[in-house]
Structure 1
Amino acid sequence: MLVSEINKEKISWRFKVNINFLITSAGIEIRGGSKGRVVNSLIELLNSSDDIVIAFDEVQELSFASKQFLDVLGNVYATNPKVHIIFSGSYVGLVKALLSPPSDSPLHGRPPTEIRLKPFDKEKSIYFLEKGMQELGIRFNRHDEVIEKLDGIVGWLTLFGNFHVVRKLDFEIALRETIGEGKKIMLEEFNHFLSNKENKQLYCNIMNVLKLASKWKDIKNGVEIRMGKVDDKVFSNALQNLVNFNFVSKVDDEYKIVDPMLKEINFNKC
């Protein structure tokens, strides 16, 4: 998640209602609780004199937004400290749309604050699952099996809860569906990452070898067995890119794949 720093002052979060806005032919309707009001344009909304928080999900789609819309966002970002904007979505998409936008983008030169949601440890994962189940009146005692497969990735824990409790799938089916859906999402994310990379096969080979090795030297040896000699600098840059984009973590001198869904993917086919 990325939070734009429209100003450098501390943001006070004192909002007690959910606010949605719908773009219609009559303007933009803001809905808060049971009441609503209509403003004539997005510009009027974003020029609000009241503190307002606007959240954009799936922000990777901003790259396809009209220039006029991006112009409005860029202008508000620079001029209105009352409007605070939250962006969330694909990390690769966030990087391309916000952290490294093209030079002609209205968002260029306006770096947001980055907030990374790290995987939960086992204790927090159990607590998260328990609280979610309790809210829906479900007694659940198979935490260890879920965490073994999904680790502490909050998105996958949430998706499992949706399949198992909301959609009422059996435990095994819910877990299998979560893994299947997670693999699709992460493969799409990885392919998005690869889209502007010249040596795609190098990245795929690194990911495959990381399932078996964790040291720089061992990973490189494994990659070279698969594809021949690789320059040290080229290899190091590729490995660091994977770390920068949260596909791989580095602790001390060991590397590992962050997301359990990535471990399920056969990168020989990418």
Structure 2
Amino acid sequence: MIPPEVLRGVSMRKSIFFDQRPRTTPDQLFGREEDIRKLLRALEAGSWVAILGPRMVGKTSLALAGANVFAKKNKYKVVLVDLRDTETFRQATEKILARLPKSLLTSLSQYISRISISTTKVGVSIKLKKNSPARKILSDALAKLNNTILILDEVQSINQGVHHFLKVLGSVFNENPSLIVIFTGSYSGIVKKMFESTYREAMFGRPPIDIRLAPWKETTAEDFLKTGFKKLKIEYQEWEIREAIKQLGTLPGWLNLYGVKRYIEKDHRVALKTTIDKAVKEAEKELESLLKGRSPKAREVIKLLALGASWSDMVSTGISEDALSRLLTTLTEGLFIVEKDEDTGVYYFVDPVYRKAAMKLPLIPRR
């Protein structure tokens, strides 16, 4: 017989500790107490914020949890826009508009050719008229967006029209003090330009406050899994916890997925294998995205890093020192997935999932 609480669903849903969806309140976050306090202080000061770090580190969860607390206290609205797979400024404008109130869209109807309502999680989608000026439209829309926290998730994906996007953000920052923007992403693309004092449109000299989320320490990762297992009454052995962390690293997203799989499958090895397969595939996509537009020699560097490599080892691929420096900066400071051993001078992937993904990357034959 199926227990009544399973049929009702509500009480069981509340007890789930592992959840693949973003957290929305601070009490649902784990091991991010100081990060949430810093975010709330920044929001109270009226600052725009950039939450930086690798995928699966919990950037969206931190942004939503902090924004929701601030919004409830100050009678603000929270708007989340997922900008993954959004390459151009115009595409970003259409996605942002699709998440804004209908009353605001009515005032912009002359620029819109199509509004579609989907039954999927995407919801509303918008297509601008061919000759509609995206820069003016977005600027006008954001200027009218009062008492709102706008979360632009994975904003670094935008690589065409960065100049126009930064122009809009700079003017809106000056003209609409009741709009607060939280950016999430890695320290690359448009995010990096916002912090570069040498970039002439870098938010007009007003870069956002940055909060850099690193992977958990191993002790925090262990506490997370043990807490979840105990809450869900999942039997486990200490070696299983250690093996999961050794194979998956300490990025919260992958440990959380392992917890979900373990809750469903009840078998450590099955849960770990399916999680590793999923994680490595996603890490491969991330590395391919990172390598896009770079020299094929950058791919050789990534392959070397999977085994550990010195500066001279990497330069021997033929990559320029300037290009190598930029690549290593992104891997170390932006994604936190590579570290340097100061004693030996060897750079290496500190994250086991990215190490596995790097080893699987195909090389492009030299001509």
Q: Normalising TM by the smaller chain, what interval?
A: 0.5 to 0.7
Q: CA deviation at 1:251?
A: 3.8
Report the 3-state secondary structure (helix = DSSP H, G, I; strand = E; otherwise coil) of the residue aligned with 2:182. strand
Q: Which runs of 5+ in 2 are unaligned?
A: 1-34, 48-65, 80-98, 106-139
Say yes or no: does 1:203 pair with 2:292: no
* 1:185-229 residue CA offsets vs partner (Å, 9 max, x unmatched): 2222222222221x22x2222222223334434x34xx74xx5x6
Cα distance 1:196–1:145, how it changes in 2: closer, same or farther (>3 A)? same
Q: 2:211 pairs with 115, 122, 142, which one?
A: 115
Cα distance 1:7–1:185, how it changes in 2: closer, same or farther (>3 A)? same
Partner AA of 1:124 in structure 2: T
Q: 2:257 pairs with 140, 159, 171, which one?
A: 159
Say yes or no: does 1:250 pair with 2:340: yes
Report the 3-state secondary structure (helix = DSSP H, G, I; strand = E; otherwise coil) of the residue aligned with 1:255. strand
* 1:21-50 residue CA offsets vs partner (Å, 9 max, x unmatched): 45454458xxxxxxxxxxxx95476332xx
Greater alpha carbon shift after TM alignment, 147-156 vs 111-120 = 111-120
Partner AA of 2:302 in structure 1: M
Matched residue, 1:84: 180
* 1:234-259 residue CA offsets vs partner (Å, 9 max, x unmatched): 65565455434434222423311132
Q: Report the structure, 1 or 2, having the larger helix content.
A: 2
Partner AA of 2:180 in structure 1: H
Q: Work out which structure has the larger RCO, using CA pairs closer than 8 Å and 6 or more positions apart in sequence.
A: 2
Say yes or no: does 1:180 pair with 2:277: yes
Matched-pair contact (CA < 8 Å) for 1:186–1:261:
yes
Q: Which runs of 5+ in 1 are unaligned?
A: 29-40
Matched-pair contact (CA < 8 Å) for 1:249–1:257:
yes
How many pairs were matched up?
243
Matched residue, 2:88: none
Q: CA deviation at 1:88?
A: 1.8
Cα distance 1:15–1:137, how it changes in 2: closer, same or farther (>3 A)? farther
Matched-pair contact (CA < 8 Å) for 1:6–1:77:
no
Partner AA of 1:97 in structure 2: I
Q: CA deviation at 1:151?
A: 1.6
Matched residue, 1:46: 145
Identity within the alignment, %: 25
Q: RMSD in angstroms over aligned alpha carbons?
A: 4.4
Cα distance 1:157–1:194, how it changes in 2: closer, same or farther (>3 A)? same
Cα distance 1:42–1:176, how it changes in 2: closer, same or farther (>3 A)? farther
